[in-house]
Amino acid sequence: MNIRKVSYAMALVAMFAFAGTASAQSEAVPRLTMNAMAESAMRLDISNGGTAASSGTASDFVLEIGDINALGLGTAETGVTKSTTPGAAAAGYSIYTAPIVLTPVFSGFSTAAIALSVGGGTNDATAVEGSSNATATLAAARVVVASSLSDVGNTRHVGFKIDKTEANGARQAMLLFTITVGT
């Protein structure tokens, strides 16, 4: 019986020893530290503002104006507006425009301005741009939207001015729109 008492006593001593060890342990709390650098970003989206045929992405956009001529008798695409001014030679012309929407998208800035420059097309000299067909003038380097908030579309009208001295053939102009942001 002494052996049994000793076994029980040893079992009790072991339980108290393990209990003391368990209570002395601390709880492990894993930690995750995250770091990032917030950066400002911007882009300028170009989309079709009407029903004229268009294709491409926001950064590479093609707009089909259709068949045009100085007398305003051409078969323009749906959504293209034309205005004709009668006159002899270069004084007689038609302007064909289609609406596009320029949408600056940015973060980390307060406002944006959109500037226009022209270049890269074979008929850049006949390209027009304005806030409507009636105000479209020959495209030249200038600010076309003085101030815009992010994600706000700005409608502009682009196209061609064709006078009576223009030769037949395909027309292509390249308008380059640049976004400048303010802090």
Helix (H) or strand (E) holding 159: strand 154-163
What pLDDT sits at residue 59?
A: 60
What pLDDT sits at residue 7?
A: 57
| Domains defined along the chain, listed by start | 41-182 (2.60.40)
What pLDDT sits at residue 119?
A: 74
The 10s digit of each residue's pLDDT in 1-27 is 555 555 555 555 555 555 555 555 678
Q: 74 vs 140, which has greater pLDDT?
A: 140
- Tokens, residue 47: 């989309």
The 10s digit of each residue's pLDDT in 83-135 is 999 999 889 999 999 999 988 888 888 888 888 777 767 778 899 999 999 99
- Residue 1 to residue 77: CA distance in whole angstroms: 110
What pLDDT sits at residue 87?
A: 92
pLDDT bin (cut points 50, 70, 90) of residue 34 is: very high
pLDDT bin (cut points 50, 70, 90) of residue 179 is: confident
- Evaluate if residue 152 carries a pLDDT over 70: yes
Cβ atoms of 49 and 99 within 8 Å: the answer is yes
What pLDDT sits at residue 50?
A: 66
The 10s digit of each residue's pLDDT in 42-87 is 888 888 876 566 666 556 788 889 999 999 997 888 889 999 999 9
- Residue 138 to residue 160: CA distance in whole angstroms: 8
pTM confidence score? 0.75
Q: What amino acid occupies position 9?
A: A
Nearest to residue 123, comparing CAs of 84, 160, 98, 77? 160
